[in-house]
Structure 1
Amino acid sequence: MLTEKFEQLRALFQEMEQALIAYSGGVDSTLVAKIAYDALGDRALAVTAVSPSLLPEELEDAKIQAATIGIGHKIVQTHEMENPNYTSNPVNRCYFCKSELHDTLKPLALQLGYPYVVDGVNADDLHDYRPGIQAAKERGARSPLAEVGVTKVEVRQLSQQLGLPWWDKPAQPCLSSRFPYGEEITVAKLQRVGRAEIFLRKLGWQNLRVRSEGDTARIELASEQIKEFVLTTDLQKIVSAFQDFGFIYVTLDLEGYRSGKLNQVLNREVLSVKL
């Protein structure tokens, strides 16, 4: 079944003949970039959008991964932080982020002669609250993984089978996802969260989030790692570092890390919006 989906993806890109990939460096868009390059060679181009909501380390990873694949890689700037519809952090914040992204990528693709802009949306994403998907669709973007029905688990399986060393890379959505809806997003807040997560990763904790609410940082780790974290980590060192970053209070979420946790406050009416 997975082999069949892989062949469908290759055929899809061969039919496109040329494609520009919205490439964040995450495992999904990197798999798309790999398959596109293998099918199209120099007729595929990966483009990474840089803004304050992207960790600098993620940009470096994207560069390394693109170079490993061999695909051409271009970096552009996006300016969603200039849009109050985005910085006010409404429940459909991602719609305005992806609008900015694809309003940047589509003209670039046309200018460079690429008829298609494709992204890394997978089949599982279609079942979550992802208003950004609507913005991409409105601007004509295609989602090969979703079109073929490739799930997140299958993304990792395919990446591993293709020999991509980052097949098990933790998901890393934009830093704006660390804030509860309704709390204004600023560059300073994004940088504060980013520095905190980098600090913890350098200590060896990889699959994590630092959620920010006002002056409070809430650390989320995999539930099975919480005990080890409390027993083996210099907690005061972490508190001091986080306070240096600008937080006042530092807490640990006892439930543990769960993707999309901040969406649990949304009511069913919002979550049932058809994208």
Structure 2
Amino acid sequence: MPAGARRSLGGRRGRRPLSPPSASAAQAATVCGSATGLCHSGGVPGPTQTVTQQAERLLAVLRGAGGLMVAFSGGVDSGVVLAGAVRALGSTRVIAATAVSGSLPGDELQAARRFATELGVVHLTPSTDELARPGYQANDGDRCYFCKAELLDVLRPLADEHDLPFVATGTNADDLKAGFRPGIRAAAERNAITPLADAGLTKDVVRQIARDWSLSLWDKPASACLSSRIAFGIKISPARLARVERAERGLRSALRMAGLRSENLRVRDLGDIARVEVDAELTPTLATRPDLLAAVIGFDCVELDPAGFRSGAMNELLTDPARFR
């Protein structure tokens, strides 16, 4: 089967609304820690600074917080914020919180629990209901805005209950420069702090710090919520999220049984069609193995993306992404 070809499966074809953010909120999202005063006074790190020096910048930012709840997704970025907070403040002044909903893969929740246990911090798993927000369900280009709004609206009261002055996210310096991050606006409106960005740390530096600190997740591939697999404009539902999770789990299992592995794997929901993205070096192999693509169940048709995995690939389908920044 040539790359990009489809495997036909037959069958049929076929809590509170939140206003979008203002322009001023979008501007606020690019100001380093302006709402909290936690931005380290040293400015952006220079190219000659060592990883150790840049890690110390992060710890300096975190010491200024006094105590915080970390919105911990289970990924490297928020994991470094969490580990750094424990180093800077001690485990009694830090709580990890991982939101549980239909958009979080079950494997990610288990990994988050293990990491929090390794650090010896309290780990809360509050439920969030982003699907109750019409803006999230609609799945327009600003879906992430409503997701982050729900997350922080749940975490802020929890932080207050535990006498923690701040809620921190894993936003890094690269995220602030990216052209499409609606969630950053929601976080800025709710005064969430961004220690990595405030310290001027890029994604690569964050991963280097995680490795230097011997964190178990230092080489973990980037992940995203299940909703990110669903094409913009297709309404998000629990059934669609579950279908994507089953499809990805099935394909990973099939690859493992065939002695193959893809660090990055996504099943994109285009409606009746599933588009599979794997590591570029695995794509030619998968193109000749329709038996492996058959593990992607629940769709009328499955196609292999010849370009391979690309973070944020769904954003390519937006006609005007600037409208949602």
Match in the other structure for 1:163 = 214
Report the CA distance between 1:221 and its aligned residue. 1.1
Note if contact 1:34-1:71 (Cα within 8 Å) is conserved in structure 2.
Answer: no
Report the CA distance between 1:93 and its aligned residue. 0.5
The number of equivalent residue pairs is: 268
Asked if residue 263 in structure 1 is aligned to residue 315 in structure 2, the reply is yes
What is the aligned counterpart of 1:10 among 59, 62, 70?
A: 59
Show structure 1 runs of 5+ residues with no match: none
Give, as a single letter, the amino acid of the residue that structure 2 aligns with 1:195.
R
Compare relative contact order (CA 8 Å, sep 6+) and give the higher one, 1 or 2. 2
Match in the other structure for 1:230 = 287
State the identity as a percent: 44
Distance 1:206 1:144 in 2: 28
Give, as a single letter, the amino acid of the residue that structure 2 aligns with 1:238.
L
Match in the other structure for 1:134 = 185
Match of 1:271, SS state, is helix
Report the CA distance between 1:272 and its aligned residue. 7.0
What is the aligned counterpart of 2:296 among 216, 220, 242?
A: 242
Asked if residue 93 in structure 1 is aligned to residue 129 in structure 2, the reply is no
Match of 2:197, SS state, is helix
1:1-275 to 2 correspondence within 5 Å? 1=49, 2-41=51-90, 42-128=92-178, 129-202=180-253, 203=256, 204-231=261-288, 233=289, 235-239=290-294, 241-243=295-297, 246-267=298-319, 270-271=321-322
Give, as a single letter, the amino acid of the residue that structure 2 aligns with 1:214.
G
Match of 1:224, SS state, is coil
Distance 1:161 1:229 in 2: 35
Match in the other structure for 2:30 = none
Question: Can you list the C-alpha shifts for 1:184-235, whole angstroms capped at 9, x where unaligned?
Answer: 111111011111112233323231111011121110012222123334x5x2
Q: Cα RMSD over matched residues?
A: 1.5
Note if contact 1:89-1:183 (Cα within 8 Å) is conserved in structure 2.
Answer: yes
Show structure 2 runs of 5+ residues with no match: 1-48
Match of 2:302, SS state, is strand
The structure number with the bigger radius of gyration is: 2
Where is the helix percentage greater, Structure 1 or Structure 2? 1
Report the CA distance between 1:165 and its aligned residue. 2.3
Distance 2:129 2:324 in 1: 26
